Amino acid sequence: MRKAIKKKKKTNAPAQHKKYINLKILNEDYDHMLRLQGGVCAICNAPHLVNKKFAVDHNHETGIIRGLLCSNCNAGLGMFKDSMTLLADAVFYLRVRDGLQGNI
């Protein structure tokens, strides 16, 4: 019988930041970050639910933690590959398609 081999996630992060890639933070640090954010998601201000933790968002190149996000906001950033350019393009698209191009 063969043993299952766990693969590590590949990353392009510099060597000094690789230790942050598998993010596990202490409960005290999580609670402190949550207090600093007022108990809400750093993007949409959704309240923190007692039975569900926020995602610990981080820069995938440096590994540095940015904040705590609800699952929707975390997934949204991931879908846009954490790209400010893609996110700005999406905002532009929504404004143009919704007739708000004068408010850009």
* Number of residues written out for the chain: 104
Q: Is the pLDDT of residue 17 over 60?
A: no
In the beta sheet, which residues pair with residue 56? Answer: 68
Q: Is 54 a member of any domain?
A: yes
The secondary structure of 28-75 as a DSSP string is HHHHHHHHHTTTB-TTT-PBPBTTBPPEEEE-TTT--EEEEE-HHHHH
For the stretch 63-87, pLDDT in tens is 899 999 999 999 999 999 999 999 9
Domain count, the chain: 1
Q: State which residues form the domain around 56.
A: 17-103
Please tell me whether the overall predicted TM-score, pTM, comes out greater than 0.85 for this model.
no
- Which CATH number fits the domain that encloses residue 85? 3.40.1800.10
For the stretch 30-72, pLDDT in tens is 999 999 999 999 999 999 988 889 999 999 888 899 999 999 9
Q: Is 65 a member of any domain?
A: yes
